[in-house]
Amino acid sequence: MISLGVQDNIVAVGTTITPNNKVEIPSVKGENITYENGQNTMLYLDPSIKDTIRLTPQQYNVISFEALASSDPDVIILRVGDCSVGWDNRDTMNKTINTMESLGIPVIVLYSPTYYSNSDLSTIREEIKIIGQIFGKQEKALELADYIQSTEKMISDRTRDIPETDKPSVLYLGLSPNARKAGGSGHSWGIDTPESYTIEGIVHAKNAYRDTGTAKILNAEQVLAIDPDVILLATSWGYHPARELYEAPYYQNLNELSAIKNKKVYSMPWTPSNCARRLEYPIDLMITAKACYPEKFQDIKVHEWVLDFYKQAYNVDDETARGLRSVQWL
């Protein structure tokens, strides 16, 4: 919405937007690791959104239809497959859509890549085009979709001829207290997910987790048995720096992992509610590509490249781009 300059049309938002975020991680060295002032990119670019009506004011992913009706929108845009209501339960999702339609408000349903099994990322392009059509910004939407796709193509072109024997194994790992409480080390994504497509279909590496399914909890024994060459830390359950896996006392049982020994653990940028690929997904692609094939991307420094990405994707100046980089902890 912000990329197309139509954010003033927003009268309500679905999920909670974290105004700022602080992460404290205990260290085996006796001092906490602290990250402060993380922000959602949308909120950073338009702080007024924090005062917009929330449709989930009491409980995450439970919509208040009273709040929805009171916002009096002309149209509802619902993205399914990510953190939206019923993403893991089709019956709940359909009930939500039917209830919205019963209010007499047109509902436009966007389907994120996570909605489908064995999906590529092409649905993101379709989502951008549809939003452009809704607001009469078709040309601008196509330019944005083409730019994002160009990054994907550049990465794919550089890595497509990697011999199978030279492809590193990559574990997409979502660290979370909930996983630890359940006796696991973190969540991972199987070979039928967009995360796996990112690793194998674009970066041309190997998804180390060869099962199927989204956000499966892996225990320490499973992670040690997989022993990936590279670990990518997802942000679906909050931001987790590489230092957490290296130093936190509750992950010392993973110290024998090759990725930890070889310092091949990389954090994805802080993007709250990043349960599926969103507009910033080329940043994740670039981090993955650099982690897997640093020699093929020697000319790209992610912390510099990302400034150009922000300026192109959000049409912002240098100062704002640097601010975005800061709140995403890049």
Q: Tokens representing 200?
A: 């194998």
Q: In which residue are the tokens 């099994």 written?
A: 117
- Kindly report the pTM of this predicted structure: 0.91
Same domain, 78 and 195: no
Block means of pLDDT (10 residues each) for the chain, 330 residues, are 85 72 83 87 87 74 86 92 65 87 93 81 91 94 94 96 97 92 93 93 98 92 98 88 93 96 95 70 96 97 96 95 95
What's the CATH number where 112 sits?
Answer: 3.40.50.1980
Q: Tokens representing 289?
A: 């590509």
Task: Give me the pLDDT at residue 2, please.
Answer: 78
Work out how many domains the chain is built from and give that number. Answer: 2
Is 189 inside any structural domain?
A: yes
Task: Give me the pLDDT at residue 189, please.
Answer: 92
Phi, psi of 116 (to 5 degrees): -105, 150
Same domain, 137 and 12: yes
Residue 136's alpha-carbon distances to 8, 139, 186, 221, 226, in angstroms, are 14, 9, 43, 53, 49
Domain region containing 279: 163-294
Task: Give me the pLDDT at residue 74, please.
Answer: 94
Between CA 101 and CA 316 the distance in angstroms is: 36
| CB proximity list for 161: less than 8 A, separation 6 or greater | none
